[in-house]
Amino acid sequence: MTPTRTRKISPTELAVEVRDAITRLNRRLRQTRPLGELTIAQISALQSLDAAGALTPRELAEAERVQPPTMTKIVNKLEERGLVQRTPHPTDGRQVVLSSSPAGRAWMESYRRTRDEWLARRLSSLGAEERETLRRAAAILNGLAKD
């Protein structure tokens, strides 16, 4: 862990440090996924469905910030693996609603558990003061992430 700085740091400098640290940690957490399983885009779409419960393909594409044809390819791959299910839209017969299948929810749970276990092992090497600092930082980051 880097020692705490004593000089004043501007909000812009802090933004760069925090962004870089989050990016590196997120990249490392993504690397805990089983190789050859799902792509990052597929995992992200599955996470969005898991969090939302159910979305139309267009809503999922918007949530993932990709074009609908790209999302169609992602969803088709997830559906081939049995991780996503399509059901008729309750009010619009022209549309479908996507949701995680039981296998998709189980996959996400396993993926989360793997990442949590990796991070817990890393955190266990820190001292109590460092873990407390990270606990407080997590609360602050969660506050920043709110709309």
Kindly state the average pLDDT of the residues 63-74.
96
Query: Tell me, what's the pLDDT at 140?
Result: 94
In a domain, 6, yes or no: no
CB 71 within 8 A of CB 78: no
Query: Tell me, what's the pLDDT at 31?
Result: 83
Helices (H) and strands (E) in the chain, counts: 6, 2
Query: Tell me, what's the pLDDT at 1?
Result: 53
Residue 147 has pLDDT above 90, yes or no: no
Query: Tell me, what's the pLDDT at 30?
Result: 83
In a domain, 49, yes or no: yes
In a domain, 3, yes or no: no
In a domain, 23, yes or no: no
Mean model confidence pLDDT for the chain: 91
In a domain, 10, yes or no: no
Alpha-carbon distance of 7 to 46, in angstroms, equals 43
Query: Tell me, what's the pLDDT at 89?
Result: 87
Q: What is the CATH number of the domain that holds 73?
A: 1.10.10.10
What is the signed CA dihedral for 70, 99, 97, 44, rounded to 10 degrees? -20
In a domain, 1, yes or no: no
Please count the structural domains in the chain: 1
In a domain, 44, yes or no: yes
Residue 128 has pLDDT above 90, yes or no: yes
pLDDT above 90 as % of the chain: 76
Residue 72's domain spans which residues?
37-145
In a domain, 42, yes or no: yes
CB 110 within 8 A of CB 34: no
